[in-house]
Structure 1
Amino acid sequence: MQLPAQAVAATALIEVVRISALPAKRGAPFPGEVVTHWAGNEAADALALIETLPGSEQHRCGFSPGWSIRAYEDTLDLALFEAAFCFSCYEVRMYGTAVPPALATQFFDAAAPSARTLLALFREAAL
């Protein structure tokens, strides 16, 4: 999976969000509870893991993401990007000023070991 390289390099903090609904409008943050923050090596490791997610074919479920990450630079102003993951239809949707249109919608193999590891990290964060 491709993340916006400059945004990844600038990321100082990641919020992990347990999504509760779809946003009211396209490009708005996904509503839900922020379950944890990852910073430093933890944030870098998570982004590196996400970048290893293998691509996949599109599956149909209606896009019902359960988790998202929001990446911030050290000023903690606006999110550089948000990536919402649907482990049912294997789709990731990314929003934010750092996201070029070509990266906005991607598909990943949710059965791959790296995807299972990412989902386990999300679930562990919610405990």
Structure 2
Amino acid sequence: MQLPAQAVAATALIEVVRISALPAKRGAPFPGEVVTHWAGSEAADALALIETLPGSEQHRCGFSPGWSIRAYEDTLDLALFEAAFCFSCHEVRMHGTAVPRMLATQFFDAAAPSAQNLLALFREAAL
């Protein structure tokens, strides 16, 4: 999976969100509970793991993401990007000031070991 490189380099903090609904409008943050924050090497490791997600074909489920990450630079102002993951349809939707249009929708192999590791990190964060 491809993340916006400049945003990844600038990321100082990641919020992990357990999504509770779809946003009211396109480009709005996904509503839900922030279950943890990752900073430093923890954030860098998570982003590196996400970048290893292998591509996949689209599966149809209606896009019902369970998790998202919001990446912030050290000023903690606006999120550089948010990526919402649907492990049913293998789709990731990203938005934010650092996201080029061509990266906004991507598909990943949810059964791949890296995807299962990411899902385990999300679930562990919610404990």
Instruction: Give the TM-score band, short-chain normalised.
Output: over 0.9
Distance apart, 1:10 and its partner CA: 0.0
Distance 2:91 2:72 in 1: 22
Deviation at 1:47, TM superposition (A): 0.1
**Paired residues, what number?**
127
1:59 and 1:87 mapped to 2: Cα distance?
10
Structure 1 unmatched runs, 5+: none
1:71-114 CA distance string (max 9 Å, x none)? 00000000000000000000000000100000000000000000
| Separation in structure 2 between the aligned mates of residue 99 and residue 51 of structure 1, nearest angstrom | 15
2:100 corresponds to 1:126: no
Return the TM-score normalized by structure 1: 1.00
For each residue in 1:48-67, what CA deviation from the matched residue of structure 2 results, as whole angstroms up to 9, or x when unmatched? Answer: 00000000000000000000
Q: Percent identity?
A: 94
Looking at structure 1, the residues matched to 101 and 25 of structure 2 have their Cα atoms a distance apart, in angstroms, of 17
- The root-mean-square deviation of aligned C-alpha atoms, in Å, is 0.1
How far apart in 1 are the matches of 2:117 and 2:92?
16
| SS of equivalent residue, structure 2 residue 117 | helix
SS at 1:120's partner residue? helix
Q: Which secondary structure does the structure 2 equivalent of 1:93 belong to?
A: strand
Post-superposition shift, 1:18?
0.0
How far apart, in 1, do the equivalents of 2:69 and 2:63 lie?
A: 16
Q: 1 CA distance for matches of 2:31 and 2:95?
A: 14
Structure 2 distance, partners of 1:115, 1:2, is 14
Per-residue CA deviation, residues 25-45 of structure 1 (Å, 9 max, x unaligned), is 000000000000000000000
Shift in Å, 1:9: 0.1
Distance in 2 of aligned mates of 1:91 and 1:116: 14
Match of 2:69 in 1: 69
1:69 alignment partner, SS class: strand
Runs of 4+ in 1 over 4 A off after TM superposition: none
